[in-house]
């Protein structure tokens, strides 16, 4: 006898639940309760609404699904498996193998399985972003929705609507409690991102107990005040109500949508009790047996009825195949009519850059007065934005200060009135700015975010995820040191270079003049599998005459000889940023005193560490142990470049409020002190 539609829907939902229970039990680790509770609402999104082709999971026109409550990862892995999402190679092309197999699910949370404890981008097709730290997925989803709006406004043409995709995000109490969640909601409401839907699992449970311990706000009222369309579904098992809510979202054209779904962790229905330990630990074999008996389910582990696969093939599979085919046909026609735009779209998809983009990077003439590196960064930014039209971004309210505006009159400003604008205004929201940039980057855009360097404290969790996901987000950070002067210690970053350098896979670059800035931009774009933090000065510094000093191309290798002496040096001075100039002055004093001195500019430790040993030896010969490192920050990490006998000139405390010249003198970061250390 054929299975009825309602029966196969329930069978599919129960399959998601039982796969989650069995996987967590096999791993003896994980969170089964939330996947069990949210199985109906996630099933409805995927099999009834998501415009997604499992056979082509990287299709640019696809809807996005983000599981912000990453602890419920088995919910996502179950969906990817049941929808038969295709695996992909490093280029993103389908391989003919499943993205997540039953064997992968059986090895949940085990070494080598794509089914990690929390979803990790790049482990399996269908995982749109790395989630785990609560609230990050919300920020990413805003970035994806922004990307959709920008792509549509920039590239769609009448009759060629290529980028009308939606972003669905499942989130938890923890997501909406985190500050980044409120930052994301505030900006999304302001921007009227009607292609964004958050589904909030209002189960009133966190790890410590009931949410009433620390959370009593009116979530519906808050989101309405932030400009959201809010819908309430009182029973997470009510598919009709869920589908009606999703339909209402798709009809809403002037604001984002929040769907508040009442559930009970472990079951989903509001009239049942939670299972013991369902939130953060396995249920236990006895509890699983009871649950399966309640579902009328076999005791066989990891059981997937054939009817369930068929249901997904007939749902998301058939719908996605048809949508992908229609989109591809439309794009083929678009290419004939709008060849230049189509070429850009294909580069965005592939991650490539326009041919000759490096030619846009300017060269700066020697200038003793020079300019602040934030100013030269602004000049480089203008040219790079022209060469790479999808290099877009903005600042957390400091664009005028960190020179991060695209000044082209045609660039415009991104907002609800013009989604084609290339200048973004994130407001005083550093953390969500970075998370949004991650979401934009995951959508193919080369995104940048800017603020003062000291405020990397506020965005570091998202910067860390840029690195984990290998996203080439560009962070423009000005006011790099005590050199910003009168604003005082709260705004003077002294430990921040060490903190950023400590994050694996991040290029942290502190250029010493305008041409070093230009080469930092080049290095950032040539490294398209990791983020770059460029750290810029407020105060002026000379632009070196490269006919007398080492070529700025050395920046691409992380460190290089800027000033050399005849033969083997007696001392090596190593500087970054504004301290490079002070090292040059100190070298002049030392040469007058008969001390043969080399000056090494080292804007990026990581790039230098990645060079061949013979190059590193040519810059910092092991035989020369008299080394002095100079940086207006703390010493941490410099030991490996100066060795046991080397000396450090820099900070061991916070700064002070005074003109920057006085601060450098007060803290002993002067040519005289450097020369004295080298002579000693």
Question: Is 401's pLDDT higher than 80?
Answer: yes
Cα 556 to Cα 18, 424, 601, 602, distances in angstroms: 52, 29, 12, 10
Q: What is the pLDDT of residue 414?
A: 98
CATH number at residue 538: 3.40.50.970
Task: Indicate whether 622 and 508 sit together in one domain.
Answer: no
Taking the chain, what is the end-to-end CA distance rounded to the nearest angstrom? Answer: 92
- Whole domain around residue 607: which residue ranges? 554-679
Task: Identify whether residues 114 and 242 lie together within a single domain.
Answer: yes
For residue 1, the 8-state DSSP code is -
Active-site residue, selected from the candidate residues 430, 516, 579, 631: 430
* Distance (Å, whole) CA 615 – CA 622: 12
Residue 163's alpha-carbon distances to 61, 76, 156, 166, in angstroms, are 6, 24, 7, 9
Q: Is the pLDDT of residue 266 over 90?
A: no
In a domain, residue 329? The reply is: no
pLDDT at 213: 81
On whether residue 294 sits in a domain, the answer given is no
Kindly provide the b/e burial profile for residues 594-624, where b requires at least 16 CB atoms within 10 angstroms of the residue's own CB: ebbbbbbbbbbbbbbeebeeebbeebbeeeb
Q: Assess whether 392 and 472 both reside in one domain.
A: yes
Give domain status of residue 501, yes or no. yes
pLDDT, position 143: 98
Per-residue confidence (pLDDT) for residue 602, from 0 to 100: 98
pTM for the structure as a whole? 0.96
- Report the 10 Å Cβ neighbour count for 128: 25
Q: Would 275 be classed as within a structural domain?
A: no
483, pLDDT greater than 90: yes
Q: Quickly state the pLDDT bin for 215 (edges 50, 70, 90).
A: confident
pLDDT at 674 over 70: yes
For residue 277, is it within any domain? no
532-535/474-478 β-pairing? parallel
Q: How high is the mean pLDDT of the chain?
A: 95
The answer to whether residue 594 is domain-embedded is yes
Mean pLDDT of 2-22: 88
Q: From CA 298, how far away is CA 318, in angstroms rounded?
A: 29
Task: Please give the DSSP secondary-structure letter assigned to residue 413.
Answer: B
The phi and psi torsions of 284 (rounded to 5 degrees) equal: 95, 150
Q: 520 and 566: one domain? A: no
Phi-psi region of 403 (alpha: psi -120 to 50; beta: other; left: phi over 0): left
- The reported pLDDT for the residue numbered 269 is 39
Mean pLDDT score, 579-600: 98
390/515 same-domain check: yes
Would you place residue 200 in the very low, low, confident or very high pLDDT band (cuts 50, 70, 90)?
very high
Q: Are residues 265 and 369 in the same domain?
A: no
Containing H/E element for 507?
A: strand 507-509
Q: What is the mean pLDDT of residues 253-271?
A: 78
In the predicted structure, residue 469 carries a pLDDT above the cut 80:
yes
Same domain flag for 564 and 532: no
The reported pLDDT for the residue numbered 270 is 39
Q: Measure the CA dihedral 142/144/150/155, to 10°.
A: -160
Interval 363-383: pLDDT, tens: 999 999 999 999 999 999 999
User: pLDDT exceeding 70 applies to what percent of the chain?
Assistant: 96
Taking the mean position of all CA atoms in its chain, how far away is CA 339?
31
Mean pLDDT of 209-229: 89
Same domain (yes/no): 522, 564:
no
Tens digits of residue pLDDT in 56-113: 999 999 999 999 999 999 999 999 999 999 999 988 999 999 999 999 999 999 999 9
Tell me what pLDDT residue 129 has.
98
Residue 549 lies in a domain: no
Q: Is 430 designated active site?
A: yes
pLDDT at 546 over 60: yes
Confidence of residue 2 (pLDDT cuts 50, 70, 90): very low
CATH code of 570's domain: 3.40.50.920
Mean of pLDDT values over 430-435? 98
Exposure string over 326-344, b if 16+ CB within 10 A, otherwise e: ebeeebeebeeeeeebbeb
265, pLDDT greater than 90: no
pLDDT at 3: 52
- What CA–CA distances, in Å, run from 376 to 83, 313, 412? 50, 55, 22
In sequence order, the 6+-apart residues with CB closer than 8 A to the CB of 540 are: 369, 370, 371, 372
Distance CA 268, CA 518 (A): 55
Count structural domains, the chain.
3
Query: Is residue 402 located within the same domain as residue 517?
Result: yes
Place of tokens 């000033």: 563
* Pairwise CA distance, residues 323 & 504, whole Å: 40
Q: CB-based contacts of 346: which residues, under 8 Å, 6+ apart?
A: none
pLDDT reading at 273 higher than 90: no
Say what the pLDDT of residue 205 is.
67
Paired with 572 in beta bridges are 598, 627
pLDDT at 278: 43
> Is residue 416 over pLDDT 80?
yes
DSSP state of 232: E
For position 443, what pLDDT does the model report?
Answer: 98
Question: Residue 208 has what pLDDT?
Answer: 67
Residue 147 belongs to some domain of the structure: yes
pLDDT band with cut points at 50, 70 and 90 for residue 214: confident
Q: CB 59: neighbour CB atoms within 10 A?
A: 19
Do the beta carbons of residue 584 and residue 541 sit within 8 Å?
no
* Residues 6+ positions from 352 with CB-CB distance below 8 Å: none
């Amino acid at each position: 006898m054929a299975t009825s539609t309602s029966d196969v829907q329930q069978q599919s939902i129960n399959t998601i639940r039982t796969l989650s229970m069995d996987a967590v039990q096999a791993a003896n680790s994980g969170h089964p309760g939330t996947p069990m509770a949210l199985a109906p609402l996630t099933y409805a999104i995927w099999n009834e609404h998501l415009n997604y082709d499992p056979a082509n999971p990287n299709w640019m026109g696809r809807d996005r699904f983000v599981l912000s409550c990453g602890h419920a990862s088995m919910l996502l892995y179950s969906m990817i498996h049941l929808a038969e999402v295709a695996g992909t190679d490093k280029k993103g092309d389908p391989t003919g193998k499943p993205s997540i197999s039953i064997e992968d699910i059986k090895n949940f949370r085990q070494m080598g399985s794509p089914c990690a404890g929390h979803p990790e981008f790049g482990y399996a097709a269908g995982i749109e972003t790395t989630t785990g730290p609560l609230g990050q997925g919300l920020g990413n989803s805003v970035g994806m929705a922004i990307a959709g709006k920008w792509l549509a406004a920039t590239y769609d043409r009448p009759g060629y609507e290529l980028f009308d995709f939606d972003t669905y995000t499942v989130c938890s109490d923890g997501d909406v409690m985190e500050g980044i969640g409120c930052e994301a909601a505030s900006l999304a409401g302001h921007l009227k991102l009607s292609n964004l839907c958050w589904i909030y699992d209002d189960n009133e449970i966190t790890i410590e107990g009931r949410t009433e311990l620390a959370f009593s706000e009116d979530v519906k009222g808050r989101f309405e005040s932030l400009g959201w369309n809010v819908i309430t579904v009182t029973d997470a098992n009510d598919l009709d109500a869920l589908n009606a809510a999703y339909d209402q979202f798709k009809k809403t054209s002037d604001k984002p949508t929040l769907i508040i779904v009442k559930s009970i962790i472990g079951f989903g229905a509001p009239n049942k009790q939670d299972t013991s330990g369902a939130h953060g630990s396995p249920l236990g074999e006895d509890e699983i047996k009871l649950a399966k008996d309640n579902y009328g389910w076999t005791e066989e582990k990891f059981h997937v009825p054939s009817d369930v696969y068929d249901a997904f093939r007939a749902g998301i599979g058939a719908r996605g195949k048809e949508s992908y085919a229609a989109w591809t046909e439309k794009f083929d026609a678009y290419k004939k009519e709008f060849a230049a735009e189509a070429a850009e779209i294909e580069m965005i998809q592939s991650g490539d850059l326009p041919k000759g983009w490096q030619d846009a990077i300017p060269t700066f003439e020697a200038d003793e007065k020079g300019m602040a590196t934030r100013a030269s960064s602004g000049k480089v930014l203008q040219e790079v934005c022209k060469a790479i039209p999808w290099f877009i971004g903005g600042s957390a309210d400091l664009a005028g200060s960190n020179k991060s505006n695209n000044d082209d009159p045609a660039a415009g400003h991104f907002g609800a009135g013009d989604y084609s604008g290339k200048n973004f205004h994130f407001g005083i929201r550093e953390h969500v700015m970075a998370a949004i940039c991650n979401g934009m980057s995951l959508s193919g855009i080369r995104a940048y975010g800017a603020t003062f360097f000291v405020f990397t404290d506020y965005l570091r969790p998202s910067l860390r995820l840029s690195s984990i996901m290998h996203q080439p987000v560009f962070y423009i950070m000005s006011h790099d040191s005590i050199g910003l002067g009168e604003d005082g210690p709260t705004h003077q970053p002294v430990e921040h270079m060490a903190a950023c350098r400590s994050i694996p896979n991040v290029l942290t670059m502190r250029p010493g003049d305008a041409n070093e800035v230009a080469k930092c931009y080049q290095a950032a774009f040539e490294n398209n599998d990791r983020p770059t933090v460029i750290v810029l000065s407020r105060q002026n510094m000379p632009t070196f005459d490269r006919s007398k000093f080492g070529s700025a191309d050395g920046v691409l290798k992380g460190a290089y000889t800027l000033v050399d002496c005849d033969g083997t040096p007696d001392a090596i001075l190593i500087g970054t940023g504004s301290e490079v100039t002070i090292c040059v002055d100190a070298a002049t004093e030392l040469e007058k005193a008969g001390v043969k001195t080399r000056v090494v500019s080292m804007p990026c430790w990581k790039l230098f560490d990645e060079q061949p040993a013979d190059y590193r030896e040519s810059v910092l010969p092991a035989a020369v142990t008299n080394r002095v490192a100079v940086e207006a920050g703390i010493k941490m990490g410099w030991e490996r470049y100066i060795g046991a006998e080397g000396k450090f000139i820099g900070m061991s405390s916070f700064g002070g409020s005074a003109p920057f010249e006085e601060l450098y003198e007060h803290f002993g970061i002067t040519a005289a002190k450097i020369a004295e250390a080298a002579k000693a």
